[in-house]
Chain A
Amino acid sequence: AQSVTQPDIHITVSEGASLELRCNYSYGATPYLFWYVQSPGQGLQLLLKYFSGDTLVQGIKGFEAEFKRSQSSFNLRKPSVHWSDAAEYFCAVGASSNYQLIWGAGTKLIIKP
């Protein structure tokens, strides 16, 4: 079955500390992978995407993610978080052949001052 798992419902990180949000997927075809962010009261915004090529992808707001096929993972990282990064983060997987994205349940990021 196709699925996306974000194991952490909440993560608390101190401002200035590094961040890693986990995403594991189960998908039959070659996956297209995405991270979206949903800030309070705002719509979902695409942070970054992986289609092919270099397995380390850079996104907006200083985020990056690494695709590891052997681990079926696409973890999101940021070297130093800012209070404005407090939001909910969603991982999603799809394929080039269809528009149906499979979404994870999200990880809520809390920033400690």
Chain B
Amino acid sequence: EAGVVQSPRYKIIEKKQPVAFWCNPISGHNTLYWYLQNLGQGPELLIRYENEEAVDDSQLPKDRFSAERLKGVDSTLKIQPAELGDSAVYLCASSRQGETGELFFGEGSRLTVL
């Protein structure tokens, strides 16, 4: 089966510019996660979807970050405007509903904000 697909792999932008990341989860996986990973740290959850519903977005900085999963399949994470501190790797993961912790990750999107 195809894995979790993310794009772009790398993005360099200037501060105050917008950026968007796209994720296509594994077919049949109802649960989709966006994580942020800083260098030398473990992933930090930004948002979790069950189908098209955002069921946990408590860690998402809503003043500049937004996400959507309109048809319950692929998802987009947007930052507008980007700040220097947003430089990180943005990870997308998916799982089957009910399978706590058994996540399948994409390769990540590395963002550099100049």
Contacts and interface: CB of A to CB of B under 8 A. Distances in A.
Interface of A: 4, 9, 32, 34, 36, 41-46, 49, 90, 92, 94-96, 98-101, 103-106
7 contacts: A32-B101, A43-B105, A43-B106, A44-B91, A94-B100, A99-B33, A104-B42
Contacts of B102: 34, 46, 49
B40 A105 contact: yes
Interface string B39-53: 011111100100000
A94 B101 contact: yes
In terms of DSSP, what is the predominant structure of the interface of chain A?
strand
Given A99-B100, A100-B56, 5 more contacts: A44-B105, A46-B102, A95-B100, A101-B45, A106-B42
Interface of B: 3-4, 31, 33, 40-45, 48, 56, 91, 93, 100-108
Contacts of A105: 40-42
Given A32-B101, A94-B101, A100-B45, A41 B107 contact: yes
Contacts of A43: 3-4, 91, 104-108
B88 to A, nearest CB: 14
Contacts of A103: 42-44
Contacts of B108: 43
A76 B57 CA distance: 32
Contacts of B42: 4, 90, 92, 103-106
B40 A106 contact: yes
B25 to A, nearest CB: 12
A41 B9 CA distance: 10
A106 B41 CA distance: 6
B56 A99 contact: yes
Given A43-B3, A43-B4, A99-B56, A49 B101 contact: yes
Contacts of A36: 103
